[in-house]
Chain A
């Protein structure tokens, strides 16, 4: 994702996901720090803005991480917010902000050929335990369909070029 999109990482999210995670020795936190560093992380402050404050005013369901993410997304007119949190997804839908859930991000990257279908399947399998079964299956079904489509397209191309043996 970092290779094709600018990822804005709010300070509050970084503090939650990396700093406090590292303090408690969670391996994920170290891994995330490494990935962000290698991908040219951009940690940004969350500027308050009118639209975000209006949404957040009546939203006690969100914590500092999501509040900051919403502020950053609206202040910087982000294309989408990457999250897998149901409560946050509900708020984003209500506010008309596009959300990209991780399994959909994997399928999107494979669809745009940023990663191969095989790499996408591998990525999806790596998050299998943390996503709902039905979501995992829906994403996998799309990837399998994509693989089949590409296989057929390749075969069509070969036929057109006269490579195919009859």
Chain B
């Protein structure tokens, strides 16, 4: 990890601790997006732990082709459960 930070700091002309922080953040972001895709954290929770807005989470999910929305089972359950609404 230190070697990677060293290389990144040289390439991007930044100091090593900044490069290391950026690498750690990128790892955290990727991990949280995976959890989001697996339905293990919500969008709001992902935004909270990453310190970004829910809009940015949606943007990142789209960029990484991560689907955080309802699946077919959720859709069918929703249709069934709300059949009596608005009557």
Contacts and interface: CB of A to CB of B under 8 A. Distances in A.
Interface of A: 4-5, 16-17, 20-21, 23-24, 26, 28-29, 60-67, 79-80, 84-90, 93, 98-101, 103-105, 107-109, 112, 114, 129-132, 134-135, 138-139, 142
Contact of B86 (A5, A21, A26, A87): A5
A99 B81 contact: yes
Contacts of B48: 63-64
Interface of B: 36, 39-48, 53-56, 58, 62, 67-72, 74-79, 81-82, 85-87
B75 A87 contact: no
Given A79-B85, A85-B68, A86-B71, A63 B76 contact: no
A63 B55 contact: no
A108 B70 contact: no
A29 B43 CA distance: 16
Q: Which 3 A-B pairs have the closest CB atoms?
A: A63-B44, A86-B39, A65-B44
B87 A16 contact: no
Contacts of B47: 16, 63
Contacts of B68: 85-87
Given A132-B67, A132-B72, A108 B82 contact: yes
B82 A98 contact: yes
A24 B55 contact: yes
A26 B43 contact: no
Contacts of A85: 42-44, 68-69
Contacts of A28: 55
Contacts of A114: 86
Given A66-B45, A89-B74, A101-B75, A84 B69 contact: yes
Given A4-B86, A135-B71, A104 B78 contact: yes
B70 A84 contact: yes
Nearest to A65: B44
A80 B82 contact: yes
